[in-house]
Amino acid sequence: MKKLAQKMNNLLFDAASGPLILMIVGVPILLIIIVVVLIFVTVRMIKRARKKNIEVKELPEDYNSPGEDQ
């Protein structure tokens, strides 16, 4: 094994370190970004749903929703 390693070009090992470092650092950063975006979207959807809930509660009593028979 030692003879095989000595025959190989040292650049082979240098070139492999770049993608490895990118994977070790890049994947966790990508996961953090995805989680932050999902939290942001979820908070916006919750706020929008609460706003629509308040609007529905403030409708007049004689209001009929679309599709409802009178």
**C-beta separation of 25 from 31 below 8 A:** no
When comparing pLDDT for 63 and 24, which is higher? 24
pTM over 0.85: no
Q: What's the pLDDT tens digit per position in 26-43?
A: 999 999 999 999 999 999
Question: What pLDDT, on a 0 to 100 scale, did the predictor assign at position 59?
Answer: 62
Compute the distance between CA of residue 28 and CA of residue 22 in angstroms, rounded to an integer: 10
pLDDT of residue 10: 64
Report the pLDDT value the prediction gives residue 57, as an integer from 0 to 100.
75
- What is the CB-side half-sphere exposure of residue 64 using CA atoms within 13 A? 5
Confidence check: pLDDT of 44 > 80: yes
